[in-house]
Amino acid sequence: MDIILYPNQLKGEMTPPPSKSYLHRAIICASLAKGKSIIKNILIGDDIQKTIEAFRSLGVNIEYLDNQLIIESSGKLKFTDNHPIHCGESGSTMRFLIPILTNKKGSEFYGEKTLLSRPLDLYERIYAEQKNEFVRFEDYIYTEGEIKAQDYIINDDASSQFVSGILFALPLLKETSSIQLKKHFQSKKYINMTMMMLEKFGIEVIKHSELHFTIPGNQTYKPTDVTIESDFSQAAFFIVGAVLNGDITINHINKFSLQPDKNILNIIEDAGGEIEYIDQKIHVKKSTIELKEIDLAQIIDLGPILFLLSSQSKKSTLIKNFERLVYKESDRLNNMLKILDIMKVTYELNDHELIIDYNQDFSLSSVNSYNDHRIAMSLAIIATLSKKPTTIKNMEVINKSYPTFLNDLERLGIKIEYIS
C-alpha cells in the first residue's frame, strides 16, 4: 500500500497504542502459568500475532475479547517432533522464545530472510557450550536439547532480548542460575521491564546490581491479570510531530514508566521543547529546538525519528552509539542516511559519531519505507513539514507494530490519500 500524505499541522488529542514490549512479555508469562490470565489494553500487530500463534500451537488457549487477551494454560507446553514456530519478521518472538521452546523433540524457528540474517551469536555460543543443537538453515533455525542452569556471562554487544529470553526459561529449571552483564552492556532497561513482568507472574529474580542477578530454580509462573501501559516508542512519533509542527495532547502517559524510550521526553525538554504534564497526559506544542547530543545506546528504536528530529534542530546534533541500527528490520542507519540525502540534509559520519545539520526547507516527493515500520512512521511525521505532498511506498509495513497509526494521523488533521 502506497500513500500520499499532505502536509499540515498536527492538532488534537490521541492515545498511543499499548507497549508492544510489555505485551510480548505478558503473553509469554501468562502462557507459562497454570490457570487463566487476562491481559488488558492490547493492540494486535503482526509481531504480537506471531507470539500468540506460537503459544496456541503449543496448546495454550488464547482468545481476544473486548480489548483483552484471555489466556488459559496448563503450564506445560505440548511439543510435537520438530515443532514449527513461525516468527515472521518478529525479532522479539524469535529471540524471546528460542530458550523457552528448545526441547528434546526439536523445534524449527521459521522467519523472513531479514529476520534469519540478524545476529544470534549469543545463543549459538551458549548452545555449543551446553551441547545443545543450534543449526541455521536457509529458511529456518533448528534447535534441540534443553537450556541448562549455569552462571551466564553476557558480552557488551548482545541484545537485551537474548537476556530476556534466558530469564524467561531459567526459573523453570531445578537449579539456581545467575547472569552477569559486562560493564558496557546496552539496553539494560529492557531487562528491568522483563524482571518487572516476571515479578507480576510470581517469579523471583534477585537483583544484586544493574549488571548482576540470580535466578532461583524450581519456580512456577502464577496466573494474574495485567494492564499494558502505553508505548513510548510509538508515542515518540507524535511527541516529535507536535514539537516540530503541531499542538497535541497525548493521553495515558506513565511518566514513571520503566520503558527506555520514555527518554524522548528528556530529549525534547533538554532541547527547549515545551511539554506540559497533566495527570496521565502530556501536552506538546510546536517549539524551537536546539539538540546537542543524542546517545542511542539505550533507545536504539528511536533512531529513525531522532535522525529526522535532528534535521530540524537549530544547532547541529551529535548522535552516538548508533551501530546497532544496521541489525534491525532493515539497515536503518544507511536507509535513514539515504532519506537525509533526499531531504538535502548535510551530515558527517565516521565509525562512532554522526553529526546532522539543520535544514528546515525541504521537499519529499516520493520516498521508500524500506519495508521498515519505524522508518515508515518517521517519514509520515516529517512529511507533515514537507513543502509538497509526499508519496510513501509500502506503508502497510506499519501493521508490524502500529496498525492504527494512519488513523491516528488522520484524526489529528492530516490528509492521506491511499493510492494502492
Catalytic site positions: 301
User: How does DSSP classify residue 158?
Assistant: S
CA distance 319 to 13: 31
Which of 23, 42, 20, 45 is CA-nearest to residue 403?
45
Query: Residue 133's closest CA among 123, 121, 142?
Result: 142
The set of cell numbers assigned to 277 is 504534564
What is the spatial distance between Cα 177 and Cα 179, in angstroms, rounded to a whole number? 7
Angle at 303 between CA 300 and CA 304, to 5 degrees: 145
Burial status of residue 120 (CB atoms within 10 A of its CB: 0-12, 13-18, 19 or more): buried
Residue 59 CA to residue 56 CA, distance in Å, equals 5
Q: Per-residue b/e over 312-330, b at no fewer than 16 CB within 10 Å? A: bbeebbbbebbebbebbbb
Q: What are the percentages of helix, strand and coil residues in the chain, rounded to 5?
A: 35, 25, 40
Inter-residue contact 282 to 235 (CB < 8 Å) = no
Beta-carbon contacts of 278 under 8 Å, excluding residues fewer than 6 positions away, are 249
CB 215 within 8 A of CB 182: no
The arrangement of strands across the sheet holding 10-14 comes to 10-14, 246-250, 281-285, 274-278
Report helix, strand or coil for 302: helix
Q: Are strands 347-349 and 293-295 parallel, antiparallel or unpaired?
A: unpaired
Other C-beta atoms lying within 10 Å of the C-beta of residue 407: 12
The SS3 call for residue 314 is: coil
Q: For residue 392, what is its C-alpha cell?
A: 510513501
CA distance 397 to 380: 13
Task: Render 325-337 in DSSP notation, one character per residue.
Answer: GGGSSS-HHHHHH
